[in-house]
Amino acid sequence: MKALVLEEKGKLALRDFEIPGTLGPRDVRIKTHTVGICGSDVHYYTHGRIGHFVVQEPMVLGHEASGVVLACGDAVVDLKPGDRVCMEPGIPDPTSRASKLGLYNVDPAVRFWATPPVHGCLTPEVIHPATFTYKLPDHVSFAEGAMVEPFAIGMQAALRARIQPGDIAVVTGAGPIGMMVALAALAGGCARVIVADLAQPKLDIIAAYDGIETVNIRNQPLAEAVATATHGWGADVVFECSGAAPAVLHMHELARPGGAIVLVGMPVDPVPVDIVGLQARELRIETVFRYANVYDRALALMASGKVDLTPLISATVPFEDSIAGFDRAAEARDSDVKLQIAMPE
């Protein structure tokens, strides 16, 4: 079976590759249909590592996937062959303390697709636990199904923020995750979400949604724009999604007294934080690492029509051209949000 294999930093190959594994009683075998290219996949391709996760052996990329169930283990009751599904890529140890607390995303033993040494899903078939495989509602397409994974991070951020109806939020950074966070915040009850970035094409894409306002920080200081929008009071929630040091240093200036900061973006290196600035407004700080228990909620929002992620799909490339797709993703064009790979029929 062919797979998209990261042989080493900077070198991809589309070649025969068997991922070891057998169908256990609680597993399903899935024919992959659509796989999104994530910033982390691209980062492994271009840098060979993310923090202490280092690619040491050839690894199959991809973790944002939808597909069709081919076969079910004997103990699987909720799924059957032919079901259209999407897959949650992080598998924790169900007996761990973190899992028992409902925090399975921070289980130290979690095995996450395309995070060394675990192989991803850019291969025509995968075996996956049924409990981390979700049926797609009838009107949710395979392409949207492959968007649930990045949207899940937005859902986690919105849940951590504890949004109140009518809140005003700010999102710093209009990458794919910043956009997902903005849409989840709107769905979670924010009246207005102000999204800030330097890249106008990205801002234009997200500005097409009702309830989103944009600020190009090349043209206007963000603190000034937020002060104007909130009559000098500040935003109820600030979602830091850029990971950029200046944004982190100044994030407290955007929040109202007693508001919340949700740290979503991941700076490559440690960055300075203005502790006194945070204290002086008694801001609540939340952090987000992936997500837990949000797939059902995400799919419910997509099925209801409250969240439409299709405008964020910039292009779909066939599996045979997936290396070119990765090269395009590595260019990080400002007009691209999400690139997806259509797996072989």
* Interacting residue ranges for Zn ion, rule: CB under 5 A: 38
Identify the three-state secondary structure at position 237. Answer: strand
Burial of 123 (0-12, 13-18, 19+ CB in 10 A): buried
CB of 28 to Zn ion, least distance (A): 21
State the Cα–Cα distance between residues 204 and 225, nearest whole angstrom: 17
**256 or 338: whose CB is closer to Zn ion?**
338
**38 or 247: whose CB is closer to Zn ion?**
38
CB of 220 to Zn ion, least distance (A): 31
Q: DSSP letter at 191?
A: S
CB of 68 to Zn ion, least distance (A): 21
| Spatial contact of 261 and 252, defined as CB atoms under 8 Å apart | yes
**38 or 183: whose CB is closer to Zn ion?**
38
Inter-helix orientation angle 176-187/148-161, to 10°:
50
User: Residue 58: is the preceding peptide bond cis (ω within 30°)?
Assistant: no
Residue nearest to Zn ion (CB): 38
Burial of 39 (0-12, 13-18, 19+ CB in 10 A): middle
**252 or 328: whose CB is closer to Zn ion?**
328
| Spatial contact of 131 and 72, defined as CB atoms under 8 Å apart | no
Q: DSSP states of 244-309 as a string?
A: -HHHHHHGGGGEEEEEEEEE-S--SS-----HHHHHHTT-EEEE--S-SS-HHHHHHHHHHTS---
**182 or 215: whose CB is closer to Zn ion?**
182
CB of 108 to Zn ion, least distance (A): 20
State the Cα–Cα distance between residues 286 and 88, nearest whole angstrom: 23
CB of 10 to Zn ion, least distance (A): 20
CB of 268 to Zn ion, least distance (A): 17
State the Cα–Cα distance between residues 278 and 238, nearest whole angstrom: 12
State the Cα–Cα distance between residues 80 and 73, nearest whole angstrom: 10
CB of 140 to Zn ion, least distance (A): 18
Q: DSSP states of 306-337 as a string?
A: S---GGGEEEEEEGGGHHHHHHHHHHT-TT--
State the Cα–Cα distance between residues 299 and 76, nearest whole angstrom: 21
CB of 113 to Zn ion, least distance (A): 9
CB of 141 to Zn ion, least distance (A): 19
**64 or 236: whose CB is closer to Zn ion?**
64
**215 or 302: whose CB is closer to Zn ion?**
302
**172 or 340: whose CB is closer to Zn ion?**
340
**92 or 175: whose CB is closer to Zn ion?**
175
